[in-house]
Every structure is written in C-alpha cells, then in structure tokens.
Structure 1
Amino acid sequence: MAFTTPQGRTGTSLSEINVTPLVDVMLVLLVIFMVTAPILQTGIDVQLPETRNVTDTNPEQRIVLSISREGLIYYGSEAINFSTISERLRRDAKGPGEEIFLRADKDVKWNSIVSVVDAVRGAGYAKISLVTKPFRTPGSGK
C-alpha cells in the first residue's frame, strides 16, 4: 500500500510481520517442556527399596506403574483400579518386547506387587523391571 508523506516523499507501509520474537518464545517454551516432562513422570511419592546392583535405564521410560505405600496403583501419574491394569496396558501397547517399569514403595506387601506383576503378564508383557535406588554404604556419603 503506497502513501505520500507531508514532505512529498512516497513510500510503502510495513506489511511484513517480524516473527523472530515469536520463534524465540517458542524455543524457550520448548526447553521448559523438555525439562519438566521427566519430572512429571516421577511425581508419585514412593520410597523405593535399595539394591546394590543398579543399572541405568533410558530416561524416556515408556510405561511406569507405581504402587504407593497405601496400596494405590498409578499408571504414570494417573491413579487406576487394579481391575483395569491389563485392559489399559493392552490399549497402550507400543509393540512386542516393550518393557514395563514397576515402582513400589518399600513398605508395600509382596502380595500387591505379585498381583500387579501377574496382571502385567496377563496383558502380554514379559519384560518387567523393578525400579530401585542405589544402595548407600554407611559412612560413604554416597
């Protein structure tokens, strides 16, 4: 769109929008979401038992089931009923050989853990890993 200034000059209006600030904001939001996503995965307060043999797993854990001290079962961060575990796992299956991570509070009775493992196996999953924390040697500070 052309126009004339009071001094007699002609020009065109600025018709392009600068998207650089928008891209900057989107990149900052992307970084924030990437940092907070793993934190949301471990939001259930579970006191894990300690073990001496710890292997690090990929931080992009696919399916995590948690059993709280009170015996509540969580699929990710969502509380679910025991009766719906198998159905939910079948629905969300991503492929054969997928691994399920089970986080259980150290005070949970073994009966609850075995029941959940049985439901997971009933849904067709063979790989089940129990999540623990590293054993701390007294006086080592580690």
Structure 2
Amino acid sequence: MGASLPGKQAVRGRRRNRRTAMSEINVTPFVDVMLVLLIVFMVAAPLLTAGIPVNLPKGAAQALKSEEDPLWVTVTAEGRISFKDKKVFDNEMFDLAELAPRLAVIAEQQPDRKVLVRGDREATYASIVDVLSEARRAGLSEAKLVIESDGRGAR
C-alpha cells in the first residue's frame, strides 16, 4: 500500500507549472503602442506650427536671417495677442493690458531675445505699434514687424 499512483503526481506537477511566475515580459504590445504614438505625433506636429491664422501684409524686404530663437508675438484682426513660445507661455490669447507683465518676465529671463510681431492685415496700426513699444519698454530692444514677401526682394 506504499505505492504511489502516477496519475496523482502528474496532476500535482501540472499545477506547480501553472503557478510559477512568468519570468519574461512581452514588449511587443508596448512597441506597437509606441510606434502608433510616434506616427500620431509626426502627423500632428506640422499642424501645431501653423498657430493662429494671420493675414500678413505684403512687402519687399529680404528675409530675416537669425540663428537665435525669436519670440513670435501674433496680433489678430480683433487686437488679441498671443505668444508662439511654449517655453514661456502657452499659446493662449490675451489683451494688450496683459502684455507688459508677460514681456517683463521674458526680458528678465532673456534680455537680448528678439521679438518678431506678426500683425494681421486687418489689425489696427495702433495695436501693432503698442505691441512693439511695450516690447521696447520691457527691455527687449530688438522688436521687429513681420511681413509676407511678395517675391520681388529688396531694391
């Protein structure tokens, strides 16, 4: 009666194998998700650079050549202002009254940073001049107006 039954040992052995922890992690689903996210961001990135649609005035000046990353300030036809700079502020719209404190923060961090103002063709001249003068008053001496080239170049 001391004999063991082979059937019971086989059952016990199978149960032990089921309870052991999986020692390898399957990374295939993770890689699949990362590749899909990469494609989504590659498609979405060019759409984010467009920013706020502005109808720029035409001009014959040469293109600005700069190695630095300028601060892009957009003035809409309604006179609303936006920065295109994720390092400083989000791409949110605000009024002229909120411009001075925001420019003061930028001038404190980077006093030699260039400011490029993109003014809509339908924006009032006064609102664009106000933005340029606020930039200079904050200590950002190099503030310029951006125009759309008509293809003729400077004469």
Q: What is aligned with 2:102?
A: 88
> In structure 2, how many angstroms separate the alpha carbons of the residues matched to 1:56 and 1:27?
36
More strand by share: 1
Aligned counterparts of 1:136 and 1:84: Cα–Cα separation in 2: 36
**What secondary structure, in the 3-state scheme, does the structure 2 residue paired with 1:47 have?**
coil
Q: When the two structures are superposed, what TM-score results if normalisation uses the length of structure 2? A: 0.65
Q: CA deviation at 1:33?
A: 3.3
Residue 66 of structure 1: CA displacement?
A: 1.0
Cα RMSD (Å): 3.2
Asked if 1:47 corresponds to 2:58, the answer is no
2 CA distance for matches of 1:101 and 1:38?
A: 20
Deviation at 1:86, TM superposition (A): 1.6
In the alignment, structure 1 residue 127 sits paired with structure 2 residue 131: no
Letter in 1 for 2:143: I
Shift, 1:92, TM fit: 4.0
Q: Is the 8 A contact 2:76 2:123 kept in 1?
A: yes
**CA distance in 2: counterparts of 1:126 and 1:34, whole angstroms:** 36
* 2:122 maps to 1:111: no
- Name which of structure 1's ranges 25-34 and 102-111 shifts more when overlaid on structure 2: 25-34
SS in 1 for 2:23: coil
Report the Cα distance in structure 2 between the residues aligned to 1:57 and 1:91, rounded to whole angstroms: 23
Q: Which residue of 1 aligns with 2:3?
A: none
- Aligned residue type for 1:64: W
Segments of 4+ moved more than 4 angstroms: 10-13
In structure 1, list runs of 5 or more residues that go unmatched: 138-142
Gaps of 5+ in 2: 1-11, 85-90
- Paired residue type of 2:149: P
Question: Whose radius of gyration is greater, 1 or 2?
Answer: 2
- The structure whose residues are more often helix, as a share, is 2
Q: How many residues align?
A: 132
Q: Equivalences for 1:1-142 in 2 at 5 Å?
A: 4-5=13-14, 13-30=21-38, 32-33=40-41, 36-37=44-45, 39-52=47-60, 53-55=62-64, 61-76=69-84, 77-93=91-107, 94-136=109-151
TM-score, structure 1 normalization: 0.70
